[in-house]
Structure 1
Amino acid sequence: MKYFIGYIFLSCMIFQSCTQSNEKINGVSFVASNNAIADEHLSPVVSLNSNYAALMPFGFIKTLEHPDILFNTEKQWFGERETGVIQYAEKLKAKHIKLMIKPQLWVWRGEYTGDIIMKTETDWLLLETAYRHFILEYARVAEAVNADIYCIGTELDTFIAARPDFWHQLIREVKRVYSGQLTYAANWDEYKRTPFWGALDYIGIDAYFPVSDSRTPTVEECVEGWLPYKEEIKRLSERLEKPVLFTEFGYRSVDFSGKEPWVSDRRKTTLNFEAQTATTKALFDTFWKEDWFAGGFIWKWFHNHNESGGMADTRFTPQNKPVERVIQSHYKKFK
């Protein structure tokens, strides 16, 4: 009898372990709108089998060399402001969707935030003060809504390289007001230089790695293209003993979707849903079964599902495209 009981106990432990390791962060990057959200806007998120959503309040900078950050103003859309983040968070949590709060900067005309650089020490200090205010304000919001993860920045490579001491201090200050898990969203070509992973809970990567030069790549081709990147990411994860989180991932529904996945302008106009599906499947096949990989957030998801994406849309969103069913099926396996 004791052997039978021991067998049952061992079987339960193995099952529990497998169940725990199988669960991933199956997230959507939930785009802010100018309106409050309702249950009807969240049913498609639940149907996708998502268990996380990233909420993204924005701060705005006039130029790459301008130190002031405007945020939480009445001129911004509802979902980009503090009141909107709180309302979105409450509605998502009511649907049992966990949260990552991910404040982001936007430079007018869409210039790359990784190139933000100040000309003088005075301007660097002004930028640090403005950014500290921005991040600590939303850290308090993240604590108030009991967000599971807080992201302290997105694709700010030059800012970090120029002012590493500021970032280490900022992390300490965030931890005084926010008690959840922390990450930073490094660009795909930046993450190996980020100096403060040891102080965070996740190695966060915006995973726009080039994996194929083909017009319509196959899943196998893209998996092969991922191999060198995967090994580098895995080595960093093991060395730092930190799980990896894709703070953004996704592909456009266009030709050559795996060649330069970060390109978001409107020059690419040729629809290719097969390419979007293959690149997405390959990313899932490459990472989601790995123990050191925590999951990720698809870029991007709009609240008005029935009016978003569709078979004439070349943008990133998977909504109302064949790849949406791929994500839905995959997320179900790892929920």
Structure 2
Amino acid sequence: MKTFHRTVVFSTLLLCSCGANSSDSDLKYVFSHNSTSDIKSKINGASIVAPSHPVDDAAFRQLASHHVNFICLLPFAYVREGNPEVFYNKFFQWWGEKPEGIAECIRMAKLHNMSVMVKPQLWISDGLYTGDLKFANDEEWQVFEQTYYTYLLTMLTVADSMDADWFCVGTELGQFVKNRSSFWSSFIDSARKHFSGRLTYAENWDNYESFPHWNKLDAIGINAYFPLSDSLTPS
């Protein structure tokens, strides 16, 4: 149980529903509340960051006792700086990062009537921020896109097979979005064919207005670490 406790953090992903017909300017400043994809009930959410070994139903009973009704599962894939290939589902990875672990966590969450989002993320060697990830030439970009696409599709297939409610197509990938916008448009279209739930993308609080495809998604996802003060010594 101690290991599980270390993997659970309260989610800071802010979901704002958006209508498919909203203009780009509307999406920057106004979040529609007339869409059929509105989020109408209060979310009491927790994030589960890839448990290292299998957990049992006792962990989810404990979450339910704290009135958690929505969980976000965060499996990681890995990228080494200088190598565009995305690595996932390898022998060294934790149980909660592999398809079988994700499927089992979804199953247990559903037993407790929790909604589930699967939110695959990237971990880059040497601590490089994902928003700064970019490559030197088109050949490297293509390798990265192909392996990232396969990773996402694997996670998407698991999520759909277990009736997950939400899938997040990416997290804080600003340079990737800026340099390869067509990839995102194409993948979102493909995801619609493989996943019956709702789709979002999670951008950092200081860059969410730059994502060009909000109108193709069901919600605007913001990692809402907004600063509360500009002062070094706020009171």
TM range (shorter): 0.7 to 0.9
Q: Using CA pairs below 8 Å that are at least 6 residues apart, which structure has the higher relative contact order?
A: 2
Aligned counterpart in structure 1 of residue 225 of structure 2, from 208, 213, 216: 208
Q: Which letter does structure 1 place at the counterpart of 2:147?
A: A
Between the aligned partners of 1:95 and 1:216, the Cα distance in structure 2 is 41
| TM-score, with length taken from structure 2 | 0.80
Question: After the TM superposition, which residues 11-30 of structure 1 pair with which residues of structure 2 at under 5 Å, given as runs?
Answer: 23-30=41-48
Partner residue of 2:159? 142
Unaligned runs of 5+ in 2: 1-37
TM-score, scaled relative to structure 1: 0.57
> Structure 1 residue 175 and structure 2 residue 192: aligned?
yes
Distance in 2 (CA, whole Å) between partners of 1:61 and 1:149 is 25
- In structure 2, C-alpha distance between the alignment counterparts of 1:109 and 1:49, rounded to whole Å: 37
Aligned residues: 197
Gaps of 5+ in 1: 1-19, 218-335
Shift of 1:214: 6.1
Matched AA of 2:178: A
Q: Out of 172-181 and 37-46, give the one that drifted further.
A: 37-46
Q: Based on CA coordinates, which of the two structures has the bigger radius of gyration?
A: 1
- Aligned counterparts, 1:1-335, within 5 A: 23-63=41-81, 65-212=82-229, 213=231, 215=233, 217=235
Q: How far apart in 2 are the matches of 1:98 and 1:31?
A: 16
Aligned equivalents of 1:207, 1:109: Cα separation in 2? 25
Q: Distance in 2 between matches of 1:145 and 1:21?
A: 21
Structure 1 position 120, deviation (Å) = 0.7
Distance in 1, matches of 2:47 and 2:129, equals 19
Partner SS for 1:134: helix
Q: Deviations over 1:127-160 (max 9, x none)?
A: 1111111111111111001010000000000000
Contact 1:36 1:88 in 2 (8 A): no
Higher share of residues assigned helix: 1
Alignment check: 8 A CA contact 1:66 1:118 kept: no
Question: 1:205-256, CA deviations, whole angstroms, 9 ceiling, x for partnerless residues?
Answer: 0001111236565xxxxxxxxxxxxxxxxxxxxxxxxxxxxxxxxxxxxxxx
Q: In the alignment, what sits opposite 1:259?
A: none
Query: Contact 1:37–1:91 at 8 Å: present in 2 too?
Result: no
User: d(CA) in 2 for partners of 1:101 and 1:67?
Assistant: 23
Deviations 1:176-197 (A, max 9, x none): 1111100001011110000000
CA distance in structure 2 between the partners assigned to 1:60 and 1:41 by the alignment: 27
Separation of aligned partners in 1, 2:224 and 2:83: 28
Per-residue Cα deviation, 1:297-335 (whole angstroms, up to 9, x for no partner): xxxxxxxxxxxxxxxxxxxxxxxxxxxxxxxxxxxxxxx
Deviation of the 1:43 alpha carbon: 2.6
2-structure distance, mates of 1:50, 1:107: 30
Give yes or no for contact 1:46–1:95 (8 Å, CA) kept in 2: yes
Map Cα deviations across residues 70-125 of structure 1 (whole Å, 9 max, x no partner).
00112100011111101111111111111000000000132210011000110011
Change (3 A) 1:146 1:22: closer
